[in-house]
Amino acid sequence: MSSTAGQFSFSRLPTELQWEIFVAAAKNYPECIPRIIRVAQRFRIWFEPELYRVIRSGEGRVVPPLYTSDSPTATLDFLSLGRFGTHVRHVLLQKRSSEEIKNVLLHTPNVTNLALWIIKGSCANLIPILESLPIRKLSFDPSYFFDNFAPDMSIPFDQPLFQNITHLEIINATSSWSKWKQLARLPQLTHLALAGMVNQPLIDQVLKECRKLQLFIMFYMNIGLLGGEVRLPQADLRVVLLKSVSDHLDHWEKGARGEEDFWITAEKRKQEAMEQAARAAKSEGMLVSEQGGSLF
């Protein structure tokens, strides 16, 4: 018998099985996609677009690289954006100019999950572009977009770009309901996260006015500091308090790739609280029933 007769030949596996194996590898280890697409031409055809499903800026190793080099003066990789921009679904841009963000968004017309953090310059010119995108998840600081508004003037969430938003994270939120009252006009909003200063009156107003809200998240650095302005525990189980996220860029990317992020963590906390409340109500009902039975 030949010494190679017992060797395993991956290429002899059915194409469907090869596909499933590499899909699992690409999903669980996205940093391996550049190596996967070098295995064979068909793998490049299959998986190179997947490489660009999630793009982000930031330091460290980012898959795929959005810029031509790691230099601060590096330019956008327009060649790749032009080829694969329609495959992009998740975009995070941090510490980039509004003009650069505009160029990225013009090349990525199918983005559904967008995070824009610490932007250089006003983003008012981005609003028409954002209105054309099918965004469902948005994380942003409104002050970059509506810088002509007075501190307590209402942010115009009635604009078209917000009409399909289901998940909204507001950076540098303030506790003034007058500023955020148009959140109630978002027809699809079910999940809201506020990173900034909050108080109990704001929480109560959000819960009252945002009728479709299923989950309301607030972040804290120190739970003791938060407790001075916010009732603990909250009576409404939709409200979840989470410790502020570290490694924000990596955390966002995990969520974009289907791993657990703060939205999923909060949903789990809410579910646990609901189950605990149901058990408590059941126990109380049984106790009342037993006490009632003793009267007869």
pLDDT tens-digit series, residues 153-201: 889 999 999 999 999 999 988 888 999 999 999 999 999 999 988 889 9
Quick one: average pLDDT of 284-293?
A: 55
- Residue 257 banded pLDDT, cuts 50, 70, 90: confident
Q: At residue 233, does pLDDT exceed 60?
A: yes
State the chain's mean pLDDT as an integer: 82
- Let me know: does 263 contact 191? Beta carbons within 8 Å: yes
Quick one: average pLDDT of 219-235?
A: 69
Q: At residue 24, does pLDDT exceed 70?
A: yes
* Residue that has been written with the tokens 């054309």 in this structure: 132
Helix (H) or strand (E) holding 26: helix 15-28
Per-residue pLDDT at 112: 98
Q: What is the pLDDT of residues 87-125, one digit of tens each?
A: 999 999 998 899 999 999 999 999 999 999 999 888 888
In which order are the strands placed within the sheet that holds 167-173?
54-56, 90-94, 113-117, 137-140, 167-173, 191-196, 215-220, 239-243
Per-residue pLDDT at 13: 72
Per-residue pLDDT at 52: 83
Q: How far apart are CA 42 and CA 238, in angstroms?
A: 47
Q: At residue 224, does pLDDT exceed 70?
A: no
- Let me know: does 54 contact 257? Beta carbons within 8 Å: yes
Q: How far is CA 37 from CA 34, 46, 53, 263, in A?
A: 6, 8, 15, 32
Per-residue pLDDT at 40: 62
By 3-state DSSP, what share of the chain in percent is helix, strand and coil, each rounded to 5? 45, 15, 40
Q: How far apart are CA 17 and CA 20, in angstroms?
A: 5
Quick one: average pLDDT of 239-248?
A: 88
Per-residue pLDDT at 109: 96
Q: Which residue has the higher pLDDT, 20 or 228?
A: 20
Per-residue pLDDT at 265: 95
Q: At residue 27, does pLDDT exceed 60?
A: yes
Q: At residue 9, does pLDDT exceed 70?
A: no
- 3-class secondary structure, 211: coil
For the chain, strand residue ranges (E) read: 54-56, 90-94, 113-117, 137-140, 167-173, 191-196, 215-220, 239-243
Per-residue pLDDT at 1: 43
Q: Which residue has the higher pLDDT, 208 or 72?
A: 208
Q: How far apart are CA 24 and CA 53, in angstroms?
A: 15
- If one counts every other C-beta atom within 10 angstroms of the C-beta of residue 282, the result is 10
Residue 65's φ and ψ, nearest 5 degrees, are -70, 125
Q: What is the pLDDT of residues 117-159, one digit of tens each?
A: 999 888 888 999 999 999 999 999 998 888 665 666 889 999 9
Six-digit token string for 62: 């980012």
Q: How far apart are CA 253 and CA 90, in angstroms?
A: 9
Question: Which range, of 220-224, 228-232, 239-243, averages the lowest pLDDT?
Answer: 220-224
Buried b (16+ CB within 10 A) or exposed e, 258-279: eeebbbebbbebbeebeeeeee
Q: How far apart are CA 202 and CA 174, in angstroms?
A: 9
Per-residue pLDDT at 75: 79
Per-residue pLDDT at 208: 96
State pTM to two decimals: 0.82
Residue 73's φ and ψ, nearest 5 degrees, are -95, 10
